[in-house]
Structure 1
Amino acid sequence: MNIDQSFYIGYVSKTRGLKGEVQLFFEFDDYQELDLDVIFFEVNKKLVPYFTEEIKLHKNSTAYATFEDIDHIDKAQALVRKKMYLPNDKMPERDPEDFRYSDLVGYMVIDENEGELGEIVHVQEMPQQFMATVDMDGKELLFPLSDDLILGIDAEEKVIGVELPEGLVDLYR
């Protein structure tokens, strides 16, 4: 299986104990719905399957897992910082009406006063709100995804209209 036949779900953050258990960190929103009996790890630019023996999911986007043939901390250490993937056919179906801020990646941002700013390249959740990162001619522009600033979202055209505070765009120029 190749990376283009799969989707990214997270990475191994650290080992736990001496018997080969590892902590997984999920960057996939609906990680609780994933079928994790086989996880593919990126090793030397190839995907290698690991069969899950036991996995304990937690609410903070983490899990503790043990894999077949990984029975010692030294073997588990080799998995630390490895990216995890699943085959595309294991991607959970999502309700089309279930729109999330993370879906805005790839949308063009058009400001009411400044015009076209660029494409959203990243959305991250901060303690108080979500922040969008826009590639504005090679520079990163950050702005909060707040109902006060968003004028409209066109899902078909992949465009988000905003009215950013006066002077914000100038800070990034």
Structure 2
Amino acid sequence: MTTDDCFRIGSTVKTKGLKGELHAYIDFDDIGKIKFNSVFLEINGKLVPYFISSMKYLQKNAAYLVLEDVDTIEKAAPLAKKDIYLPNKLKPKKKKEEFTLFDLAGFTAIDDHEGELGKITDVQEYPQQILATVNYQNCEVLFPLNAEVIKGIDAVKEILYVDLPEGLLDIYLG
């Protein structure tokens, strides 16, 4: 299992008490809609699975997490400050009205003239505009996400159809 197969829901912050409990920060808004009994913690660049003994939500973004076989502060301490992931198959589907340009990360961008550009690796907001990033011909290419560039979105197949401004790719490739 890799981070591409999962989505991040938060991170462990610190230990709590002497019995291996972890204080977790949950930054995924719809966590209450997901039923799960295990999580993956990112340790040294690899995802390690842990079964959950209990998880108690304190408030919207905080929880106490008890993992199976982690029953002392010594076992819990190395698990502090680690990202928490769940498999992509558990990620709730967004309704049409909840879809934003930031949800295009992971979609394949296809240009009217150049064909497939590649997967959108990142979507960032800058003053006045939102930009998408793709790796096209071993080059990082940024292009705006606006009504002039976007020609269509297929949310089921995860494809973004675009018509990039003339010469934009030449700037990166030339």
Instruction: Return the TM-score normalized by structure 1.
Output: 0.63
Structure 1 residues 123 and 48 mapped into 2: Cα distance closer, same or farther (>3 Å)?
A: same
Matched, 1:55 2:53: no
Structure 1 residues 92 and 22 mapped into 2: Cα distance closer, same or farther (>3 Å)?
A: same
In the alignment, the residues of structure 2 paired with residue 87 and residue 160 of structure 1 have an alpha-carbon distance, to the nearest angstrom, of 20
Deviates more, 1:132-141 or 1:161-170: 161-170
- In the TM superposition, residue 49 of structure 1 has moved relative to its aligned partner by 1.2
In the alignment, the residues of structure 1 paired with residue 163 and residue 58 of structure 2 have an alpha-carbon distance, to the nearest angstrom, of 44
Task: Give yes or no for contact 1:14–1:23 (8 Å, CA) kept in 2.
Answer: yes
Could you give the per-residue CA deviations for residues 38-60 of structure 1, whole angstroms, max 9, x where no partner exists?
341246654111233312454xx
- In the TM superposition, residue 85 of structure 1 has moved relative to its aligned partner by 1.7
Equivalent residue number for residue 85 of structure 1: 86
In the alignment, the residues of structure 2 paired with residue 106 and residue 55 of structure 1 have an alpha-carbon distance, to the nearest angstrom, of 33
Task: Give yes or no for contact 1:110–1:159 (8 Å, CA) kept in 2.
Answer: no
Structure 1 residues 3 and 49 mapped into 2: Cα distance closer, same or farther (>3 Å)?
A: farther
Matched, 1:66 2:59: no
Equivalent residue number for residue 137 of structure 1: 137
Equivalent residue number for residue 10 of structure 1: 9
Q: What fraction of aligned residue pairs are identical, expressed as a percent?
A: 20
Could you give the per-residue CA deviations for residues 64-107 of structure 1, whole angstroms, max 9, x where no partner exists?
2212256749724424224422584x443554776443246232
In the alignment, the residues of structure 2 paired with residue 140 and residue 87 of structure 1 have an alpha-carbon distance, to the nearest angstrom, of 26
Task: Give yes or no for contact 2:124–2:131 (8 Å, CA) kept in 1.
Answer: yes
In the alignment, the residues of structure 2 paired with residue 124 and residue 169 of structure 1 have an alpha-carbon distance, to the nearest angstrom, of 18
In the alignment, the residues of structure 1 paired with residue 123 and residue 32 of structure 2 have an alpha-carbon distance, to the nearest angstrom, of 19
Instruction: Return the TM-score normalized by structure 2.
Output: 0.63
Equivalent residue number for residue 23 of structure 2: 22
Amino acid at match of 2:111: I
In the alignment, the residues of structure 2 paired with residue 51 and residue 172 of structure 1 have an alpha-carbon distance, to the nearest angstrom, of 51
Task: Give yes or no for contact 2:39–2:86 (8 Å, CA) kept in 1.
Answer: yes
Task: Give yes or no for contact 1:120–1:134 (8 Å, CA) kept in 2.
Answer: yes
Secondary structure of the structure 2 residue equivalent to 1:80: coil
Task: Give yes or no for contact 1:56–1:64 (8 Å, CA) kept in 2.
Answer: yes
In the alignment, the residues of structure 2 paired with residue 158 and residue 74 of structure 1 have an alpha-carbon distance, to the nearest angstrom, of 41
Amino acid at match of 1:64: A
Question: Gaps (5+ residues) in structure 1?
Answer: none
Structure 1 residues 108 and 46 mapped into 2: Cα distance closer, same or farther (>3 Å)?
A: same
Task: Give yes or no for contact 1:22–1:76 (8 Å, CA) kept in 2.
Answer: no
